[in-house]
Amino acid sequence: MSLWQALEGARVLDLAQPMRRGMPQSPNHPPFRMTLERRHGDLVRPDGGSAANEIIVTGGHVGTHVDALAHVSQDGLLHGGRPVGEVMSHEGFASMGVDAFEPYVGRCVLLDVAAVHGVDTLPPGYEITPDDLSRAAGDMEIRAGDAVLVGTGWSRLWSSAGEFVGLTDGVPGPGAEAARWLAGHRPRVVGGETIAFEHIAAGRGHATLPVHRIMLVESGINIVETMRLAELLDSGVREFLLVLNPLPIAGATGAPVRPLAILEQPR
């Protein structure tokens, strides 16, 4: 059987948030902007045809995106103990940039921590623990090289920018111990619904980001952030095929991505 035949009838879920001006984002990154540079009618061809086109300006960590290993350093060192000065220039990173991320097509495990607590959305500032993750996994095996997503339900708040960013009340996410639990399973990539794959306490903002350090610097595990997981969480599916392929922007520390979840239809 061919691959495309095996996927006939599969359900495809788009896990990317729509990118538009004013969408929720971390204040640490330049905002997304799009404007029509040429409108229909600005230039009309002899046959009556006209084309419109836009200019897009965005940070690499705005909207649904992948964090490259070069995104975070600790004491001047990147993953593997590489000094940042060896690979960083005004043109970006000669290695460990997002262009070094090999497209991922493989098994993905969804750990629905919100469901563990019997809610659709975890409360602001909730710190996810190893016990939460273990309970969400149940008897589902997490294999080395898998993708692992952590469900908080937070993407349900996307339309409320202030609440979603959580500058006042915080954002739910894994704490340092949960990050070590995840890293111990040696996944290829981890991801979640918030703008930072971290527990953000009320009033703290992005003062420290230990989960990023543990994943990117210590473990060499890429992170996907600001994913749209509400429909996937509601589906009840916890294992599926994930297609993940960020824009290969040479030397960048991150790039937009449109993850696709491929779900088997019930028989």
Tokens of residue 186, six digits: 């040696």
pLDDT for the residue numbered 7? 83
Cα four-point dihedral sign 85, 61, 260, 132: positive
pLDDT for position 267? 55
List the single range of 8-17, 107-116, 143-152 with lowest mean pLDDT. Answer: 8-17
Domain residue spans of the chain:
9-263
Q: What residue spans of the chain are helical by DSSP H?
A: 3-6, 113-116, 130-137, 161-165, 176-184, 210-212, 230-235
- CATH superfamily of the 9-263 domain: Putative cyclase (3.50.30.50)
Please determine, for residue 131, whether its predicted confidence score (pLDDT) is greater than 60.
yes
Q: State residue 238's pLDDT score.
A: 96
Q: Which amino acid is at 16?
A: A
The per-type count for the chain, helices as H runs and strands as E runs, is 7, 15
Q: How far is CA 222 from CA 34, 49, 124, in A?
A: 27, 45, 24
Query: In the prediction, which pLDDT does 28 show?
Result: 85
Per-residue pLDDT tens over the stretch 194-216: 999 999 998 776 678 999 999 99
Task: Summarize pLDDT for 87-105 with one digit per residue, the tens.
Answer: 999 999 999 999 999 999 9
Strands (E), 145-219: 147-151, 173-174, 189-192
Using CA atoms, how far apart are residues 158 and 145, in angstroms rounded to an integer? 30
Q: Is the pLDDT of residue 256 over 60?
A: yes
Q: 155 — phi, psi (to 5°)? A: -70, -15
